[in-house]
Chain A
């Protein structure tokens, strides 16, 4: 689905929150792009991560890096860059949800049906949302912006309605 076809949703729409609140579930492990052999010789991919408080961090990864695992490595030095990754890249949790700049979203292959099903449970779903554990960085992604959704800050202040399971 092209990014332009879906307008960016405002974060924390009660509807999306409700969708997220009633969900859960999973399928098999998909892990790629982590710790590949020739990392040193791979091209640099500079980009920006906007943390949950809205602060921008300039970072540089290597082509072939998995976006989520790369962010995990940054966290030691930069505690504001927190991507949870609860299911270890198995497409079973959506805690690794990020929002990409739209021109870079379009550079990536379309998310799988499985990834879209998981994204449908993510708070703050937007037109350019992806699960970072499914993204392998490549040179064309240089300059992109990866925003961490702000759900940890306002998940519960804005119209969350619990529904029975």
Chain B
């Protein structure tokens, strides 16, 4: 054995001893920041992998479950059934939940990542993606231009967006920029009959705004062609079956003029021949999606499909790259010369028509422009993880640099993992994928932690002075519990959340809703404490 290796082993053994002495028995502690799917699935894999682990799960909100509560659409309650699983995990005797604890720089009512690292053997950042990708186009600041993320948060009753408010009664056309599932969620919520949303857990204020909505047409635009769209077949099929809503598929033609084009205009993206080429086994999802799009497109151009009465229309328009937002009430001459910042209310979105690059990966502008009048535009081009103080951040990719769930010291290819610091879910891989994606992801991060523990390289806690130790249930002065108490932070435990939950269900039952969400943080805190005050 190399001389260095033996002393490393001795150090590892000493560290293992120190940590078991500090917590009694073989218990070791992991702190997970974020109680969305990634947080819970990482906890689950840790609990399965180690009988003596203790897991504390923190969230900045008093309520758990992240985007399952505040992203998954209100009319998709089945997707939210996964909270039953998470509740089972939270009730494991080895798990503690503390809501209303924000991880930031340690000032005010927050706690820092370094403070957590000093108290836990491992810290897992599973705090999702709560920022917006911007288009950086002229006129993006106009009234009427907003992000799908904020709109979703608002109709989901997220405390951060409670006051945002959308007056949907002023214009008849909305444009959604982007063609992922979030874009289709927004289009669906904007066009579905409000009566069909009334029994869901949609925020009451949003429901009222939808009842007053003047929107008749929602145009969902993508830069690339129908075969590159990011939505899934499931979500598309649902749009095509909405009562009272017509779904039109446009292949790269003027959405405003309502012309539909032919599949052959677009190099035959949806032609029989193109579909036949998708015959390989691995192409199955794309082929089924292309078949559905072709069917919908044929119906749009009038070749088949049943004539239906409709109140509203959703248009899927491809090959449209937005280049700017124009204010209402500006004449064409003034528009042409205006490249700078504009104020006022949105009147139209300007698009450049595109073609696919030969490799099909990107959209290339054709130099042809068009202008689509609208009163609302929703950017739906991605959520962004935010940087946390004390944690390296790759600003270019808007991601924490990591490998297999281990946070690396920098974005450098040769960077080493930071001992005891991990990430999971959207915070680790960016904002894509389904709830399911977080299972494999949580398993990978947990496997890295368990392997590092076995190798004795966790080490963050043992590296600091012995006073700073222990989590939410520890008595010592150096514990997280003591730290939070000293700062005046009042965590909400899982029983507190269950009181909020019970209240929401009862209030929902009383008003014919699945549940009626409490929106204000102060109200959540009051309900959570009703029993212990």
Contact = CB atoms under 8 A, between A and B. Distances in A.
Interface stretch (A1-9, A33-41, A135-143): A1-9
B440 interface: yes
A35 B351 CA distance: 56
A126 B432 CA distance: 22
A123 B440 CA distance: 10
Interface in B224-251: 230-235, 237-238
Interface in B79-107: 79, 81-82, 84-85
Contacts of B78: 26-29, 87-88, 90-92
Contacts of A7: 281
B435 A164 contact: no
Contact of A164 (B81, B281, B432): B432
A104 interface: no
A23 B231 CA distance: 7
B288 A116 contact: yes
Interface string B427-447: 001111111110111011000
Interface string A147-165: 0000111011000101111
A105 to B, nearest CB: 14
Chain B, interface size category, equals 35 or more
Residue among B79, B82, B283, B284 with the most chain A CB within 10 A? B284
A155 B444 contact: yes
A118 B439 contact: no
Contacts of A13: 282
Given A84-B439, A92-B76, A156-B444, A120 B234 contact: yes
Given A24-B232, A125-B284, A156 B432 contact: no
A121 B231 CA distance: 11
Interface residues of A, number: 51
Contacts of A116: 288
Contacts of B404: 156
A117 interface: yes
B434 A155 contact: no
B132 to A, nearest CB: 11
Contact of A165 (B181, B233, B436): B181
Interface string A70-110: 00000000010000101110111111000000000000000
B130 to A, nearest CB: 13
Contact of B76 (A19, A25, A151, A156): A25
Given A120-B233, A125-B285, A156-B444, A165 B180 contact: yes
Interface of B: 48, 72, 76, 78-79, 81-82, 84-85, 133, 178, 180-182, 230-235, 237-238, 281-286, 288-289, 380-383, 404, 429-437, 439-441, 443-444
Interface of A: 6-9, 13, 15-16, 19-29, 79, 84, 86-88, 90-95, 113-114, 116-118, 120-123, 125-127, 151-153, 155-156, 160, 162-165
25 contacts: A6-B284, A7-B281, A15-B282, A15-B286, A16-B282, A21-B433, A22-B231, A23-B232, A24-B434, A28-B78, A84-B436, A86-B82, A86-B85, A86-B435, A92-B76, A120-B289, A121-B436, A126-B281, A151-B440, A152-B439, A155-B437, A155-B444, A156-B404, A164-B382, A165-B180
